[in-house]
Amino acid sequence: MTVTLRSLETAVPPTLLIQSEARDVFASQPGLTRLGQRLVRTCFDSAAIDTRHTAVAEMSTGSQSENPVFFDGASGLLLSPSTKVRNDLFTTEATKLFIEAAEKALEACDGVGPGDVTHVITVSCTGFFNPGPDYKVVRALGLNASVQRYHLGFMGCYAAFPALRAAKAFCEADPEAVVLVVTAELCSLHVRTSNNPDTIMGSSLFGDGAAAAVVSARELPSSNPVISLDHFETVLTPVGEDSMAWNIGDEGFEMVLDSYVPRIIDEHIVDALAPLLAHEPAIAALPYGDIRHWAIHPGGRSILDKVEAKLELTAEQLLPARETLRDFGNMSSATVMFVLKHILNQQATAAQESICAMAFGPGLTVETGLFTKLSPGLPTGRNVVELETVGRA
């Protein structure tokens, strides 16, 4: 049985943040020490990000709200709303993104309508409400009231993988299942001014976005490439529990993102990949660079640099991750879905192309997936990994 991701769509809020403008705002806040100011400029300038999106409309340049809550455009001051105020905005704005992404994914899936969906899985770590986003999606899309609903909350940047893994399991248990997976994160709700390096790092990296996918084992028509979900693995690194965390404070959620994280990934990425690639002997025997596509969660530029160097990948293989980071920043769990969308949109060179996907999160947790991009209309044959190897031989 082949379980495939039949459609994948993304959504972002309309307010655009220009990285250089955001840097200047954060660097000009009162209370910053000289070291804090230097850290702001260094983190923002070295992040390899040009733009991000935010659900906080006040954060746009030139915003002139009469009663500002997050940002006073007239004075240039970043404000400190309570966690409740931030979460109330999450309830309103995240719901819009969950629904928009889900609608787009369902509309893009050939042969599937609202009445076909059997399961809904929603994902987020940037807010809470109940009835939750799973309920909102069912109601807004007119899905059957009997649809099974699941919400994965507060897992962090790797959470799209458990969601896709659960979708695969549902489809293997019921070949007629159609699973709608939707992840939405409003990371920008939790930014604040601070001299704390972790807080500054988070403010320079995180943006808002959503993605949705339809997953099924049904034999369905498709005029576009789809992704076979072949195998997943989870690995906990032996160190790093305190290096990446996501805590709830009185003035929003608080990020812990130690500068040691890229080093941890550099030291343990090979061991983290081993269980995944061992599942596919034909691929395990190849150099990493022979795997056609790499869908790496761009947690930051330095993380991508370490992955590229350690696995001896090409700049082209990291392009989907780097361009996602450049245009959208780190959107937590939604980000790797944007990277996969980028890979789906690339011109295929064979009917089957391997994808190795990976995301990192609190723990330090490494989630990995081995997928295959299946492109209709191209000559059938062996996986492109094998073809390239034979060509070199």
CA 216/CA 46 separation, integer angstroms: 40
Return the residue matching tokens 């993104």. Answer: 97
Amino acid identity for residue 302 in this structure? S
Give the side-chain half-sphere CA count within 13 A for 42: 11
Helical H runs in the chain? 19-27, 34-45, 83-107, 133-141, 160-173, 197-205, 261-278, 281-284, 301-311, 315-328, 335-345, 384-392
Any catalytic annotation for residue 157? yes
> Per residue, what are the HEC states of 352-382?
EEEEEEEEEECCCEEEEEEEEEECCCCCCCC
3-state secondary structure at position 317: helix
Closest to 234 measured CA to CA, from 163, 152, 295, 318: 163
Long-range interactions of 75-81: CB distance < 8 A, separation 24+: 76/25, 76/28, 77/29, 77/30, 78/25, 78/26, 78/29, 78/191, 78/192, 78/193, 80/192, 80/251, 81/251, 81/252
CA distance 93 to 14: 11
- Percent helix, strand, coil in the chain, to 5, is 40, 25, 35
Q: What is the DSSP letter of 108?
A: T
How far is CA 80 from each of CA 69, 189, 194, 358, rounded to the nearest angstrom? 8, 10, 11, 34
Handedness of CA 294, 215, 53, 246 (dihedral sign): negative
Catalytic option among 157, 171, 187, 356: 157
**CA 383/CA 290 separation, integer angstroms:** 11
Place of tokens 């640099």: 305
Active site residues per annotation: 157
